[in-house]
Amino acid sequence: MMSLEELALLSPSEKYDIYSGQYNYPMKKLVYKSVSKRAPDWAGICHGWAPASTHHNEPTPKIVTNPDGIQVPFGTADIAGLLSYFYAKQYEHEDGINQVGRRCSFGSWLGGTRTCDEDLNAGAFHIIMTNMIGLRNQGFMVDVDRYKEVWNQPVYGYKTVILADNLAPSPGAATSAVKEMVVATDFLYVDESDNLTWDVVHGTKEQMIGVKKYQYRLEINSAGLIVGGAWESKDRPDFLWNKPKAPAFTGILSLLPTLLND
């Protein structure tokens, strides 16, 4: 029989298997099948942890008892890892994901012969950001890397200042635009923590906040509505997405809700 200290050192999947009373470790085997030594160093399950963080409270450490009376300790990172895995594997097979912009499949911050230009229009970006966060108080996900790599992050805030107003419409602006303004936006999102922690990270020094600084033009019509836009900064998001409804906890991770704090 392993001690609590020894059990605490096991992987999240191994702990979950013991918690569910399945000593042939099906969850561990499932996770091992989804990893590859040939995967690029930026690849992971950010498409899982980002939406999970918008639908659930941060888990807290807990000790649970399995059907055979074995106590199993879970840290915050253990539960968050299982939750992220579930969303990464369940979310990608479900309908109802809203997305604006497409993934750029080439180029990098080091440069390259091709980029994705303005796949995500700056005006559409500003409207979505201000409506979702400013009016609805709802976060969403963003791929903050403009190029081939995908870094999905949950967005939680922004700050926009007007740099110039009442400018004449630029060539190529929407035909209904009567003026333009130039704005600078600090785009705030939750970033990956550098360390795995047993305890919660929200509100501690381990909580990582990312900031992207964007500058772009907004095209305004006679009614004062945004009808288009164009990026001025080289840095810009690749695509935005969200899914209003959380998936049902089914299958091998059906016990996961018992570990959450929702």
74 with 112, same domain? no
Among 116-125, 144-153, 155-164, name the most confident range.
155-164
E strand map for the chain: 62-65, 71-74, 98-100, 140-143, 152-167, 179-191, 208-220, 226-231, 239-242
Q: How confident is the model at residue 110 (pLDDT cuts 50, 70, 90)?
A: very low
Residues 66 and 111 in one domain: no
**Arithmetic mean of pLDDT over the chain:** 89
pLDDT band at 127 (very low <50, low <70, confident <90, very high): very high
pTM for this entry: 0.85
Domain count, the chain: 2
Give the Cα separation of 143 and 261 in Å (integer).
Answer: 27
Q: What average pLDDT does this structure show over 149-167? A: 94
**pLDDT for res 247:** 81
Do 115 and 216 belong to one domain?
yes
Q: Name the pLDDT band for 113 (thresholds 50, 70, 90).
A: very low
What integer is the mean pLDDT of 90-109?
72
Residues 220 and 252 in one domain: no
Same domain, 42 and 138: no
Q: Are residues 143 and 193 in the same domain?
A: yes
Residue 56 contacts residue 260 (beta carbons within 8 Å): yes
Domain encompassing residue 47: 4-95+246-259
Do 46 and 146 fall into the same domain? no
pLDDT in tens, 187-233: 999 988 777 789 888 878 888 889 999 999 999 999 999 999 999 99
Residue 4, pLDDT > 90, answer yes
